[in-house]
Structure 1
Amino acid sequence: MDRQEEALRLAEALLSDIELSETSTPKRVMKAMRLARLMRDTAAQEWLGFEVNGLPNPGTEKSQEWMTRTGRWVDDEKKRGYWVPSASVEATMNASQGALQAFSSSVSLSGDMIATAMRERAGSINGYTKNVREMAQILAAVDAQLYEYAGDVYAELQFSEVQASLFEQSRVAVDATLASLAGDALKKVESVSERLHSDEPEAISQAMSTCRRLIDSVADHVFPARDEPYDLNGQELSVKKNAVLNRINAFLHTSGVRGGRADRLRRSLSDIYGRVSTGVHSDVDSHEARYLFLATYVLLGEVLTLTASSD
């Protein structure tokens, strides 16, 4: 099981745990801490650390914010509140609940001081009841934060998993098509992938040059160059060797691609070809270069699968 898959399962388990109240809040905190480590989420590890080790008093701006989010303040102006971790909060609540159960047992009071004893007993009951209520509210607020975090991680990983699955399915189809229809182009994909791991300008330039040659290779395959123009809806379209985009557009037309899809493919091809051509010389960093490669790969994959469908 890889890290992302483990994180997805852990997030789902944490959500179920909170929904069904299967364990205590401190145990959920530890589970969430593991989730944050798997996600390499340092920000989450910081606030979860408050629930594991307690909050620094008087605290930092972040710890005071966490005091507010978990309802720990007794007097926020004087910075008085419950700075202890969730395990201590739960222990206080359990102890107070135990004391209340003891008071609920039948007690025989008599003598001259019965009124004083009754007042003290009532005061103790009120104090323990207040403790239980306040501690329960803090734990509920912590659980709410854990639930929100687990839900966000779960949604993120689910989306990532769906995207990865869709991309993998497309990749298999595209690679198979590239291998059968444009074997040389497939070799170029491997070289692009290697070069994009480098931030060196020369490596980026070479990668963009390879992307451009990849588009050229696909154009050569789907619509070989010819001297006579192509009739595209009554307009003569040059389809000579250097008219790479025109030849791909002519292929789309011969494949029966019309309307919005044709417009999208034409615009995308024009934009990408322009950027990778620019990137050969300058103006493209490694981050954009990676996305340009992915966009080129996906777009040409769609074009080549049109060929496969047509064949």
Structure 2
Amino acid sequence: MKNMTPQTEALRLLEESLSANEAPKGSLLTAVQKLSRAAALVENDDIQKWCSVQLGDQQYTRPLQQLLDVLQLEEGVEKKSALETAIKKLKDVGLNKGMHYSSEEVHVKIDESAGGYHSIGFIEERYADLVRLKNGNDGTYYKNNLNTHLSYVRRRSHELASGLLNRLRFVGLPSNCFDVLRSAVDDKLLDLNPALAEQLMLAFKAVASAKSEEWSQALTTCRRLLEGLADVVYPANSDPALGRVLSQAQYVNRLWAFMDKAIESDSNKALAKVHVDFLGAWMEKTNKIANKGVHAEVGQLEAVKAVFHTYLVVADILEYTSEAPNKSSKPNINNATMDELEALLNISRSTAKEIVKARVAHGKLDAEVLKKVPGVGAKTIEKALTEFSF
């Protein structure tokens, strides 16, 4: 175990947490403690704080208890002011509504007979005592209420452990196949455009978050990334390409046009066009999901699929970015016609013929071969290096 990475150790702890949670006589205290340690290893602050609440950490339970006290006050100006103060104290210690004090959790904890904000270990002991003594209550704690509290914490800790385990299995291990693709795309996109690469990496990070608002934001980021990528590889213009408008808003068409121009193989070109057309249909669906996210929760699975598909599409586009500049700027001297050699190098027809003969004789041209061609001097070689690629 000494050689375990934090992710591997966290995976082990999460599996043990789930086992303790699922065993008929498993300890819920043990399950929460192991979940807390796993969350600490992978720096998941939200889950770690939730566990601290269940373990009775007074740094968090005191302001939470103050919130419960305020909620039981009669409605009025005084309650409103006290509620604002209580929520501010919770924010000060890093507790968030929904994650650390959801409506369901408050409903369970507010009942003193169910154990309130005592440690889950204490609540387990009180429940076990009442079961052993066959009593419904001991005057303070009630067996049924304690059981409701334990059932809630067991279910919630199981949800959190399962979710974290799946995320770590999927994105946390260096041997993961998707990591190979993600790393390659990130690196190549960083070379092409660092700002776009950062957007894609942030989208990937967002879908691993426990916050639903970040999942929705990841979808919007994917769309903006593809718009930015289109601007880089095929800027907007007023000339249509094979009937497709290439305006600023038509970024999918511009990606399609880039593929059409960049790929030489007809079979590969046809396949790429189908892929980009599919991208257009997929992006339309993604936009609807993203718009939906403004008004309602977006599922994490939806966001994950969107980000992963974006990585796959961007990988295809980046595969051809190295070809596009050569086609659009410098012609290759080894494929140049005599007319191109004569015009771009400002040489005579006879010298152009000699260059072609040298190309055939040597198989290809470079600066050393050009030096030996009759009629080619230092200025012509300098011009060749400027006008042509080799």
* TM-score, normalised with respect to structure 1: 0.48
Q: Which has the higher contact order (CA 8 A, sep 6+)?
A: 1
* TM-score, normalised with respect to structure 2: 0.40
